[in-house]
Amino acid sequence: MATPAPVPTRMEIQITGIRKHFAECVTEQDGGEMCDACSSDWDSPLPTNAWIRAHADEKGHTKFKKHTEEDVTTFTKPATAK
């Protein structure tokens, strides 16, 4: 009995959560230390932008990093012929 040929597979990525938006202040302060203040996580970028504006107004800081994060999982499934 012949061994069947392996079935071609492909790796899939599935988003398993809601995208999170947050920001951190990376403004260098006196003494060379970074501010490192971080916003909360939101499911929209708009509150992140508002946090950046408010932090900049309050502290006078000017350098920020915006982050987007998604929870994902991977799985393998049979490849389909085209």
Q: Supply the pLDDT for residue 55.
A: 98
If one counts every other C-beta atom within 10 angstroms of the C-beta of residue 25, the result is 21
- Say if 1 falls within a structural domain: no
Query: What is the pLDDT at residue 54?
Result: 98
Question: Each residue of 13-70: pLDDT tens digit?
Answer: 888 889 999 999 999 998 889 999 999 999 999 999 999 999 999 999 999 999 999 9
3-class SS string, 12-73 = EEEECCCCEEEEEECCECCCCCECCCECCCECCHHHHHHHHHHHHHHHCCCCEEEEEECCEE
32 lies in some domain: yes
Secondary structure element (H or E) that encloses residue 82, with its range:
none
Residue 82 lies in a domain: no
What range defines the domain where residue 37 resides?
22-77
| 9 or 22, which is more confident | 22
Q: Is the pTM of this model over 0.75?
A: no
Does residue 14 belong to any structural domain of this protein?
no
Domain count, the chain: 1
Is 46 a domain residue?
yes
Say if 16 falls within a structural domain. Answer: no
CA dist., res. 60 & res. 64, Å (int) = 12
